[in-house]
């Protein structure tokens, strides 16, 4: 058995799925079928590394990263400008004239809506297919996750599956070995080659018209939300008015959810402990797990990406898993895949 990094717990654990399942995939052309097979492999976590590949991956973790190619050094003006504007809006939301208890309530409800949409919908259900849900449930969760404004669902899932295939390797788009800031958010402000490979990882999504529409127009979801809150804030004479509610519900919420999500890419590849000896830098970080509803148990997730449950030990609190169990009791999920921690 390989020696684990300092601060790790001993022994590699093994996966005990509650139930095996096979994704039923159907496309007409050979190219689409190949794309969908790639998507299915990434969803189920079947990376299929040979011993030689794993050895190369471990060696690459400690190799100093070369400077970005010239074509990637320039900041993307649109994305950078949007991020600056949304952070400025979040600062304005905290001004005293925009404070209200209604704003706090709206922020809390939309934070839950958005984070659960990302963690349960985009991540565990769609990206990894760790359980099966009725199509209407999946679509509701995907729309909730798309409210996070972290690109559309196809791009989100494609980049996430790409990350798992090349985790902390030089071609990982948020390679933690390139630095904490790069892994946190700097990567998205540059052109990344992974964007050109999304179709390889999302063959199970490309034929869905809703997902294609959301991928193109995801920003528009904020408009009816903002309009409804602006009207309510003015009609109910909320302190700070409609503008105050909009600032709390959109820029402040988005910034909070952005950084919580980004911490999973950065902090959980730098801080915490390891239950499993994976060929990457993933860690279990308790405080990220609290903020992200269980996504901070990241080493567990990288060891068993197809598991719907991320918190595997008794003290690893996983709010998203609790939501999955609730859906299961309501008869809205089946074929739930779960890893077991075996001391």
Task: Report which of 242, 223, 289 is spatially closest to residue 106, judged by C-alpha positions.
Answer: 242
Q: Is residue 197 part of a domain?
A: yes
Question: Domain limits at 157?
Answer: 86-329
- So what's the pLDDT on residue 148? 97
Q: Is residue 241 part of a domain?
A: yes
Q: Is residue 256 part of a domain?
A: yes
Q: Is residue 4 part of a domain?
A: no
Please, what sign has the CA dihedral across residues 114, 282, 174, 42? Answer: negative
Q: Is residue 21 part of a domain?
A: no
Per-residue pLDDT of the chain (343 residues; tens, 9 = 90+): 333 343 333 334 443 333 322 222 222 233 333 334 445 455 544 456 777 777 777 877 767 888 888 888 899 999 999 999 999 999 999 999 999 999 999 999 999 999 999 999 999 999 999 999 999 999 999 999 999 999 999 999 999 999 999 999 888 999 998 999 999 999 999 999 999 999 999 999 999 999 999 999 999 999 999 999 999 999 999 999 999 999 999 999 999 999 999 999 999 999 999 999 989 999 999 999 999 999 999 999 999 999 999 999 999 999 999 999 999 999 999 999 999 988 8
Place of tokens 């980049």: 159
Mark residue 175 as left, alpha or beta (left: phi above 0; alpha: psi -120 to 50; beta: remaining): beta
Name the domain count of the chain.
Answer: 1
Q: Is residue 39 part of a domain?
A: no
Are 288 and 295 within 8 A, CB to CB? yes
Q: Is residue 275 part of a domain?
A: yes
CB-based contacts of 249, cutoff 8 Å, min separation 6: 103, 106, 107, 110, 225, 226, 229
DSSP code of residue 320: H
Q: Is residue 237 part of a domain?
A: yes
- So what's the pLDDT on residue 44? 47
Judged on CB neighbours under 10 Å (0-12, 13-18, 19+), 116 is: middle
269 vs 180: CA distance, rounded Å: 8
- So what's the pLDDT on residue 68? 86
């Amino acid at each position: 058995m390989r020696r684990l990094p300092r601060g790790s717990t001993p022994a590699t654990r093994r996966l005990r799925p509650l139930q095996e399942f096979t994704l039923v995939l159907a496309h007409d052309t050979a190219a689409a079928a190949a794309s969908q097979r790639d998507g299915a492999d990434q969803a189920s976590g079947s990376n299929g590394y040979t011993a030689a590949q794993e050895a190369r991956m471990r060696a690459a973790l400690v190799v100093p990263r070369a400077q970005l190619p010239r074509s990637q050094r320039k900041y993307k003006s649109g994305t950078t400008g949007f991020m600056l504007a949304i952070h400025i809006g979040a600062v304005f939301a905290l001004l005293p004239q925009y404070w209200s208890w209604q704003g706090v309530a709206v922020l809390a409800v939309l934070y839950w809506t958005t984070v659960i949409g990302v963690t349960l919908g985009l991540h565990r259900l769609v990206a990894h297919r760790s359980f099966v849900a009725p199509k209407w449930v999946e679509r509701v969760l995907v729309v909730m996750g798309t409210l996070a404004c972290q690109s559309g669902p196809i791009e989100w899932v494609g980049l996430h599956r790409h990350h798992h295939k090349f985790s902390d390797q030089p071609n990982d788009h948020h390679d933690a070995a390139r630095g904490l800031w790069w892994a946190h958010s700097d990567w998205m402000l540059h052109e990344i080659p992974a964007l050109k490979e999304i179709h390889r990882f999302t063959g199970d999504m490309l034929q869905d018209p809703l997902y294609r529409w959301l991928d193109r127009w995801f920003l528009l979801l904020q408009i009816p939300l903002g309009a409804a809150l602006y009207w309510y804030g003015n009609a109910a004479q909320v302190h700070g008015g409609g503008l105050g509610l909009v600032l709390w519900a959109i820029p402040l919420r988005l910034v909070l959810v952005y950084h919580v999500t980004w911490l999973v890419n950065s902090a959980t590849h730098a801080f915490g402990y390891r239950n499993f000896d994976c060929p990457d830098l993933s860690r279990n970080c308790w405080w990220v797990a609290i903020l992200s509803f269980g996504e901070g148990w990241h080493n567990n997730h990288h060891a068993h990406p197809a598991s719907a449950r991320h918190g595997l030990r008794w003290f690893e609190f996983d709010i998203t898993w609790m939501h999955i169990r609730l859906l299961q009791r309501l008869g809205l999920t089946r074929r739930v895949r779960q890893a077991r921690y075996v001391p």
